[in-house]
Structure 1
Amino acid sequence: MSVFPSPRSAAGSPIIDFDPAACCLEIEGLSLAYGETPALRELSLRVPRQRVTAFIGPSGCGKSTLRRALNRLHDLNDEVRLAGRIRLEGQDIHAPEVEVAELRRRVGMVFQAPNPFPMSIYDNVAFGLRLQGGIRKRQLDDIVEWALQSAALWDEVKDRLRSSAWALSGGQQQRLVIARTLAVRPEVLLLDEPASALDPISTLKIEELIRNLKSQLTLVLVTHNMQQAARVSDYTAFLQEGELVEYGPTDRLFTNPRLVRTENYITGRMA
């Protein structure tokens, strides 16, 4: 079934392997270094389609580096050296024919701090669509409404679409950014600590949104919050020192991890 050998952790425990036909992303032997400093070491895993996959691990373990690699943000850093392959729906994202702008449309990203543009709520959501061009006003209106509904924000803003996005609360701004990303119809949504700067009520709304969105696309969540990973993800990958230690269904990994290293981390015995 596998097109390459099933990856194994340093301790030899098997890591979950999916049928390629069910996968959105395939990472094979990925190593990445900043100059002479390694950040990822021979990392291999598959991310299933229309599921939530969480990356957890201590600071500096490589989870954010891996997240940035999935839509080639490292292209902007001349110091980065990369080996291995990342495939999106079977296509190598570093192939010469792949346009980076189109890849980043297909693999959208939402950052830790909300970053709405200094324009209206409507114009924020429509921004990427206008860059693409060729969309009529009526169609643009329909997509903006759909994206705001998908981000669970429409009912809160439908009467003030021309108001400044900066007038929204922090939680609303984060959902607006998600709507802006959804508007261009990505296949994958990368979420980097999307609720870490939010209050508990806003955090619950973001988590509910994440659970609802997996019916539409594949989600990858990078988080330090293990409780959040346990609540919203279907699969969890534990990284440490640039290596994939353990990967499996979230409920199994949190209640019955295969490795002592994983158990020590999720129980707080390892920083």
Structure 2
Amino acid sequence: MSATRDPRFAPRLAGACIDFAPEASCLEIQGLSLAYGDTPALEALSLRVPRHRVTAFIGPSGCGKSTLLRALNRLHDLNEEVVREGRILLDGQDIHAPEVSVAELRRRVGMVFQAPNPFPMSIYDNVAFGLRLQGRVSKRKRDDTVEWALRSAALWHEVKDRLQASAWSLSGGQQQRLVIARTLAVGPEVLLLDEPASALDPISTLKIEELIRNLKSTLTLVLVTHNMQQAARVSDYTAFLQGGELVEYGPTDTLFTNPRLRRTENYITGRMA
């Protein structure tokens, strides 16, 4: 993967609706373009993600939402066909700088995927997995961290009496909250959520949404969702992407009630798929 200028990325002027500074930024994306081989996925995309807020990425299928999310903790690194331009800064540091440890970056920037992916081990061992990878941690500290993470993920009271049961014995919604607890246990600063409730029932979805709202007091969250009602309910800022381009970005209430661009209005009112 290369960060040098590539002719397949055409120059693009920044949109008038995306260059604003929402509070204190945690992540800053500067002119990010990304292609899979000869197929562009993101084009000259720039935005700043505010600290301790929920930022939602919305847009039609194939618009680049998940591609952008995965770029934020370098999940494209192992794909040799991916070509990249531009920079992603975490607290002012380029995440692709040579001195940046990818393992440490992914601890600081955790990722939760659409389908729950608990490991084939106990509930306790799932949450403690990352702690054990970090090296010597006392059993007392490990126990305390597991309890704290499960409480933070609103799961403790449902599993505290069966921590040694298989994680696969949990319901789908519980498994997703377990995965969030596993991610929280290693102390991330940013949590990336790729449609975390799309496969869940309405009750489980509401629990995930409540969890997202609660976590922003200590974390920066970035959410990809196809559900615009969900974006309106849980996010503070929303970015609308189309065709790999950032069309409009702003406070969620403003973007949904008074968008500046007709393209945005057409999408959120259902006149564009």
TM range (shorter): over 0.9
Residues 14 and 44, structure 2, Cα contact 8 Å, conserved in 1: no
Identity rate, percent: 85
1:18 corresponds to 2:54: no
Give the match for residue 160 of structure 1. 162
Gaps of 5+ in 1: 1-6
Give the match for residue 3 of structure 1. none
**Distance in 1 between residues matched to 2:72 and 2:154, nearest whole Å:** 26
Residues 193 and 221, structure 1, Cα contact 8 Å, conserved in 2: yes
Instruction: Give the deviation of 1:15 after TM superposition.
Output: 2.0
Could you list the per-position Cα deviations for residues 119-170 of structure 1 after superposition, in whole angstroms to 9, with x for gaps in the alignment?
0000000000000011000000000000000000000000100111100000
Matches within 5 A, 1:74-153: 74-153=76-155
TM-score, normalization by structure 2: 0.94
2:73 is aligned with what amino acid? N
Instruction: Give the deviation of 1:67 after TM superposition.
Output: 0.4
**Distance in 2 between residues matched to 1:189 and 1:14, nearest whole Å:** 25
Instruction: Give the deviation of 1:17 after TM superposition.
Output: 1.6
Q: Partner of 1:176: helix, strand, or coil?
A: helix
Aligned residues: 261
Could you list the per-position Cα deviations for residues 209-228 of structure 1 after superposition, in whole angstroms to 9, with x for gaps in the alignment?
00000001100000101000
CA RMSD of aligned residues (A): 1.0
Residues 18 and 46, structure 2, Cα contact 8 Å, conserved in 1: no
**Distance in 1 between residues matched to 2:196 and 2:159, nearest whole Å:** 20
Could you list the per-position Cα deviations for residues 54-106 of structure 1 after superposition, in whole angstroms to 9, with x for gaps in the alignment?
00000111111100100000101000000000000110000000011111111
Residues 237 and 250, structure 2, Cα contact 8 Å, conserved in 1: yes
Give the match for residue 192 of structure 2. 190
Q: Partner of 1:75: helix, strand, or coil?
A: coil
Residues 118 and 168, structure 2, Cα contact 8 Å, conserved in 1: yes
Matches within 5 A, 1:251-270: 251-270=253-272
Q: Partner of 2:56: helix, strand, or coil?
A: strand
Give the match for residue 4 of structure 1. none
**Distance in 2 between residues matched to 1:40 and 1:245, nearest whole Å:** 12
2:215 is aligned with what amino acid? L
Q: Partner of 2:77: helix, strand, or coil?
A: helix
Gaps of 5+ in 2: 1-12
Q: Indicate which of 231, 234, 244 corresponds to 1:232.
A: 234
Q: Indicate which of 233, 241, 244 corresponds to 1:242.
A: 244
Residues 16 and 248, structure 1, Cα contact 8 Å, conserved in 2: no
Instruction: Give the deviation of 1:248 after TM superposition.
Output: 0.3
